[in-house]
Structure 1
Amino acid sequence: MADPTASPSASPEELPPAPARQQSIALVDDDRNILTTVSIGLQAEGFATRLYTDGETALKALLENPPDLAIFDVKMPRMDGLRLLQALREQSSLPVIFLTSKDEEPDEALGLAMGADDYITKPFSQRLLIARIRAILRRSELAKATGEEQVQENLPDPVMRGRLSLDPARHQVTWGGDPVSLTVTEFLILEALAMRPGVVKSRNQLMDAAYSEDVYVDDRTIDSHIKRLRRKFRAVDPEFSAIDTLYGAGYSFTDG
């Protein structure tokens, strides 16, 4: 017999909502002052932060326990930001923002070509950094949410374009059955091209597809992502030529 003095159990409607998961940002920079300053700013915006002062230590931690996003400086001891990004991309598509100085433009282009989702030039404002972080995280969360909806609603199978299979539900891409690991930005650019094969998309249209309205990137950023897309597909098929360039106009996807 139930104890009449016991408090009644709360109904499902009365239960408090589950707390929102705190998103985590990994900061990798050998300058402890920058780490501290940026970390305080991110924590004030509700993010959890993880701090690393060298690339080797960071790489191990990022692979073992991935955060939601990572921010790499270029110049670091033991393993610099470029080498760290290269090593990470061999095993992970974790969103990455690349930090460079004004005199490091070649590093910016190389970082994007190696798979960074965005870059910010020092010195930068906390407001700009937060905007860029939120933009990339929104794209990442949108991809996950779309996948959950597709599973729940039993929506159609992945998009098939010739040898390309593109599955937004799982953020997965294959070419001729071989998996191709893409970052969030690369996936969105490819999706924009593959959804309308043969139609030329301008750089501005691809920027709109891959970035939110509050983030500005220049043409070189899109070009760098296209180069990396081609490189990734040619790693599984040296004859890959499905992404065409129409000079002065933009890019298109050919599914033939």
Structure 2
Amino acid sequence: MRQPNPTNPPSRVLVVDDDPTVAEVVTSYLRRAGFVVDRVGDGPAALTRAAECPPDLVVLDLMLPGLDGLAVCRGLRERGPVPVVMLTARGDEEDRVLGLEVGADDYVTKPFSPRELVLRVASVLRRSQARPLAGEGVLRAGSLVLDPRAHTASDARGELRLTLREFDLLAHFLRHPGRVFAREELMGTVWGWDYGDLSTVTVHIRRLRHKIETDPAKPRLITTVWGVGYRFDAG
């Protein structure tokens, strides 16, 4: 577990889960890791608390009373960018895709290891607070334009609304056109994890294709190299 950095204020995390046992365990582990934690048990309370005391990150259960996690995530995104780690009760890919579609930056499937959740939270926060690489300029490939410093991306159709992970993934591909990356490599480089569910990478690739490809069913930018991984073809 990380210790709080005395030179920086601890990050504030809002935990939203209607299961008291899960919420208590998650809150306890996050506090022990040095985070300041707020906790609420339903969707409307989550939006109210986030407005009153803006969090640096939200741990958000998908199934909530009042408003479900998808509606809450949409509400948070309307107010401004805030990283979201979604908790899903099932391992269904549909749940993962829905969470990512409305702007979640990561997801964890129940039952989960509290320690792994803390690592996921820390990883997403590090990315959201990270500075661009020194001296790095705008990245381009055809009509795709990505500015790491302004954290903007666009193509011929206009601005691309990317989550933090999608932005990182696209930036990584733009930095290494023509190179094939296995899912394990992408998880280590983009996510910063030594282990985890590799389907996370698959889902993010799929969502990114839907946003940058003319025909996601026949991708021409991010191609699958069967048995190896994925390659970005700049054209």
SS in 1 for 2:180: coil
Cα drift, residue 208 of structure 1 = 1.9
TM-score with structure 2 length normalisation? 0.80
Q: How does 1:1-256 map to 2 (within 5 A)?
A: 19-59=7-47, 61-62=49-50, 66-89=54-77, 92-102=80-90, 106-142=94-130, 145-146=131-132, 150=134, 155=135, 157-176=137-156, 178-218=158-198, 220-233=199-212, 241-256=220-235
Task: List gaps (5 residues or longer) in structure 2.
Answer: none
Once the two structures are superposed, what CA deviation does each residue of 1:121-171 show, in whole Å capped at 9, x if it has no partner?
3333332221221222222233xx236xx4xxxx35311221111122232
1:10 alignment partner in structure 2: none
Contact 1:93 1:184 in 2 (8 A): no
With 32-41 and 58-67 compared, the bigger mean Cα shift is at 58-67
Distance 2:51 2:160 in 1: 18
Once the two structures are superposed, what CA deviation does each residue of 1:219-249 show, in whole Å capped at 9, x if it has no partner?
x211211121122336xx7798532333333
Q: Alpha carbons of 1:64 and 1:232: their partners in 2 closer, same or farther (altered >3 Å)?
A: farther
Cα drift, residue 60 of structure 1 = 5.3
Task: List gaps (5 residues or longer) in structure 1.
Answer: 1-16
Give, as a single letter, the amino acid of the residue that structure 2 aligns with 1:125: S
Distance 1:79 1:91 in 2: 16
Once the two structures are superposed, what CA deviation does each residue of 1:167-210 show, in whole Å capped at 9, x if it has no partner?
22232212238222322211121112111223332222221222
SS in 2 for 1:225: helix
Distance 1:233 1:177 in 2: 9
Contact 1:131 1:215 in 2 (8 A): no
Give, as a single letter, the amino acid of the residue that structure 2 aligns with 1:208: G
Over alpha carbons, which structure has the higher Rg? 1
Q: Alpha carbons of 1:214 and 1:241: their partners in 2 closer, same or farther (altered >3 Å)?
A: closer
Contact 2:96 2:203 in 1 (8 A): no
Contact 1:132 1:215 in 2 (8 A): no
Distance 2:93 2:208 in 1: 21
Distance 2:78 2:227 in 1: 33
Cα drift, residue 71 of structure 1 = 0.9
SS in 2 for 1:248: coil
Q: Alpha carbons of 1:80 and 1:124: their partners in 2 closer, same or farther (altered >3 Å)?
A: same
Aligned length: 229
Contact 1:28 1:55 in 2 (8 A): yes
Distance 2:19 2:202 in 1: 31
Give, as a single letter, the amino acid of the residue that structure 1 aligns with 2:19: D
Distance 1:97 1:232 in 2: 21
